[in-house]
Chains A and B, each alone.
Chain A
């Protein structure tokens, strides 16, 4: 053993000790990771249960549509923008003049996810159309989506490069509709659900409806939709978990206070449109009942076809066991939300 080596061994822990220490650290890491995964599981379960409970008896199919629904197409759409938005989301802008031209507020697309790193994704993934930008003389029409990477499909989707193509089918479903004579609207979105209602803000802008949007999310840094609201002239109310302002009761109280009718500016909205969680749909329905205004809520369901023939996307509407309830893709995703009379 050289002098250097013996010196070193006096000052530093032996490889064996190091291994042991590392083992201890790994063990702590693993325990922490395990604890976190169990917490996440408990959260997922609690969220699903709260959602189901909130939606129980709440929604019904909207009355017959006045505007004819556009014929869906499928298209090979060039990816023009695909970039991170904050830590949790990705923005995807694709070129499809047909869909940008025909899509109605609150409609969605089915995105066929190309194979990625040896993983083949079988089912297309439903995504709300966040923004529609019709074609101009020098550029094709585009649709914008914002999505969270949550599982295999969205992970593979995130790998699609700008310049590549994505096969998309749409526009699909029954969206948000303003009754004629609507002067003001309250839109409520949480997380990526903000994208579900943004189309209504676009329509409101075109028809001159005064619009306020609640942007709800975990933290102020992660809120989507600020720039869109600024562009569309929508007043913003931020509600986040980190300062407690998104808490259901707090939010409900602050909205009631905000629209208490004290001044013309504070008159209750003519309609409420909501997307993001069952509990928010119920909150909106409670506000709607309080103000005596209709509420439209956009829901999610696991989907395969998006067109109404696979019957995979049953909506949370209880029916006689021999009658099939509405389908989220064809009868929704936007439903009427009304507090059930007990």
Chain B
């Protein structure tokens, strides 16, 4: 059995009722499948698609409000995919409108081809990827990908990258009015500084954010790397320069070797480790960052279940991103969002804060 049903009691595929198919967006579907059942199991509030949560609460229980503010943007639920671990292809596989937002793969200023094969692997410590962030540049993104994100009917957070601090603002400017917010991926080698990560250098973070702040009024999220001398200093630098949130964190630099040949598995030799094993490392960073800044901290690292999300909320996170877990379970993020609501309902509370107060008291 796949342990996927812990948070939402979806019926077995075989127990699918005929009306499960009604929610199935693909007209060609001739048979009920687990995906169709999952769509059909959406909480009642889904009928009011774009509105803020006004789900049918049971009489006598408070309505659950999971909404979270990132600057001027309000997300219906504090769960979203991690950059690079989501694509519009998932629109037909999961009810994306149940997520707070989507996050795009990082868009760079110029076109990039990506790294040589192999680009990813799995070792006992987790997933390691060195995709190398292929990108068509902002114009290519707007022409081919953005319309598909926009069609998903949830806010699109566009991830933006650069090889020097000066490269970010022009990309954001070129993206113009598109997207609901920008996530600045500063876990990129700084070519002005011998390849040290931009995000490990508070001065460089300040420079990036200040420049982007000048070209957009939309919310700015700064996605920080794991390997930094002081995550508090990095988060504060982002906040002081005008960021609306920080995302903690990116994958952890790692080097997987083939057990038999002792050669690097990845074409790029090194890659980023992700998945459940990085959660304790990121949990510490989220805790430290949350104590350092007033702006929301979005936690990203190894979230698989609603309890992983609640762990992050309990150390100060305001929202979570789900990355690697989506590959094996495309519905993982939706399941976490549903699970948070369910937990609040079960506890008879109206918010995650109240739920956590109840749990630690």
Contact = CB atoms under 8 A, between A and B. Distances in A.
Interface in A202-246: none
B31 A314 contact: no
The 3 closest A-B pairs by CB, nearest first: A309-B87, A97-B31, A324-B134
A293 interface: no
B92 interface: yes
Interface residues of A, number: 61
Interface string A85-124: 0000000000011110110000000001111000111111
A167 B2 contact: yes
Contacts of B93: 72-74, 169, 307
B28 A310 contact: no
A57 interface: no
Interface stretch (B53-61, B117-125, B168-176, B209-217): B117-125
12 contacts: A74-B330, A76-B12, A78-B14, A97-B33, A112-B2, A165-B13, A308-B87, A309-B89, A309-B90, A311-B84, A311-B119, A314-B117
Contacts of A316: 117
B13 A76 contact: yes
A167 B328 CA distance: 9
Interface centre among A72, A73, A166 (most CB of B within 10 A): A73
A301 to B, nearest CB: 7
A156 B331 CA distance: 22
Interface string B18-51: 0000000010111111111000000000000000
A74 B33 contact: yes
B35 A74 contact: yes
Contacts of B34: 73-76, 167
A338 B331 CA distance: 40
A70 B325 CA distance: 25
Given A169-B93, A311-B119, A40 B260 contact: yes
Interface of B: 1-4, 12-14, 26, 28-36, 84-90, 92-93, 105, 110-122, 124, 126-127, 129, 131, 133-134, 258, 260-263, 275-276, 324-331
Contacts of B35: 73-75
A72 B134 CA distance: 24
Contacts, number: 169
Contacts of A20: none
Given A112-B329, A316-B117, A101 B30 contact: yes
A98 B261 contact: no
Helix, strand, loop or mixed for chain B's interface? Answer: loop
Contacts of A123: 120, 122, 127, 324, 327-328
Nearest to A303: B120
A322 B129 CA distance: 19
Contact of A74 (B118, B127, B263, B331): B331
A279 interface: no
Contacts of B28: 70-71, 102
Contact of B113 (A115, A122, A135, A320): A320
A152 B124 contact: yes
A304 interface: yes
A45 interface: yes
Contact of A309 (B86, B276, B329): B86
A164 interface: yes
A35 interface: no
Given A102-B28, A310-B120, A96 B33 contact: yes
Given A115-B3, A305-B327, 15 more contacts: A41-B260, A73-B93, A75-B13, A98-B32, A102-B28, A114-B3, A123-B127, A165-B1, A301-B117, A302-B118, A310-B129, A310-B131, A319-B113, A322-B112, A325-B114
B114 A314 contact: yes
Nearest to A313: B119
A40 B260 CA distance: 8
A14 interface: no
B221 to A, nearest CB: 20
Nearest to B92: A71
Contacts of B120: 123, 302-304, 310, 312
A294 interface: no
A316 B263 CA distance: 20
A310 B126 contact: no
B327 A324 contact: no
Contacts of B118: 301-302
A193 interface: no
Nearest to B121: A302
A183 B174 CA distance: 53
A70 B31 CA distance: 14
A112 to B, nearest CB: 5
